Amino acid sequence: MEISGRHVVITGASRGVGAALADEFAAKGARVTLVARSIDGLTAVGERTGGTIVPADLADPAEVDGLIGRIEEAHGPVDVLVNNAGIDLTGAFTEMSADDIQRMVQLNAVTVADLTRQVLPGMIARGGGHVVQVSSLAGTGTFPGISVYGGTKAFVTHMTAGVRLEMKGLPVGLTVVETGLITPTDMADSVLSYPPTEASFRRFYRLLLLADADVTAVARKTVRAVERGKRSVRMPARAFLFPMLTNAPRRLVEMFLLGVPRRVQD
């Protein structure tokens, strides 16, 4: 997909990966719409990218309901949706509140599924589009302290694989981004603030099985994946074995489904 001139909607765009993605898409000539709860952060990113800001609490189902339609009515059809918004509340599972679990599942999983559902019909009708799901290697193999977060990311990765099968034959791309800790970000600071989680990461670093991913590099590789229609972005490269093993059953099912008729546009 040619990025220049495309309308790209990025959630969680006020900081971290979302802000870096906004910078990268804008540098490629895209028209960006930035969605997040933090108005101050959105304003700063919007000013430097020329993007439109849409303040919204994506953990609130009422604000998510019909969001894509409202954006398209005000700013035009969405060519690329980047589902980046998410939260990680690191800590002992038994000490998490029901509200903490509900908010994480709502934002990291339910909102991602709902926004994907909202945007795909228009892309199909217009004959093209792309959805990026910012998942995590935590959805492949989780550590203590991030059990709920890892579960939500496993949902995103698995759901997207199923949606991709339903899009077979249609000109709509889906990319899953799976990374380790992305630095510098507030989420990385949060994850490493809980000693059992921090110790687990340090062990994997010593074994050379993980390394931090730079936020700018993640953004660049993600934009390149949209341009080239790639199905995945995985960083660091040394951790390829974990998602490969986890994805093996999904890919095997896809091989068995090769005889299923491709969808055609109505």
Distances (CA, A) of 14 to 4, 9, 91: 22, 12, 25
- Which one is catalytic: 25, 143, 149, 242? 149
CA dist., res. 74 & res. 7, Å (int): 12
Q: Which residues pair with 130 in a beta bridge?
A: 80, 173
SS3 98: helix
For residue 110, give the 3-state DSSP assignment.
helix
Q: Which stretch of DSSP H or E encloses residue 164?
A: helix 147-166
Q: In 12-120, which ranges are E strands?
A: 31-36, 52-55, 80-83
User: Helix 215-228 vs helix 16-27: angle between axes, to the nearest 10 degrees?
Assistant: 50
Closest CA to 78 of 47, 32, 45: 32
Interatomic CA distance for residues 77 and 33, integer angstroms: 11
Residue 86's Cβ-count burial label (10 Å; 0-12, 13-18, 19+) is: buried
- Is 205 a residue of the active site? no
Plot region of 185 (φ>0 → left; ψ -120 to 50 → alpha; else → beta): beta
Which residue type sits at 39? I
Active site residues: 149
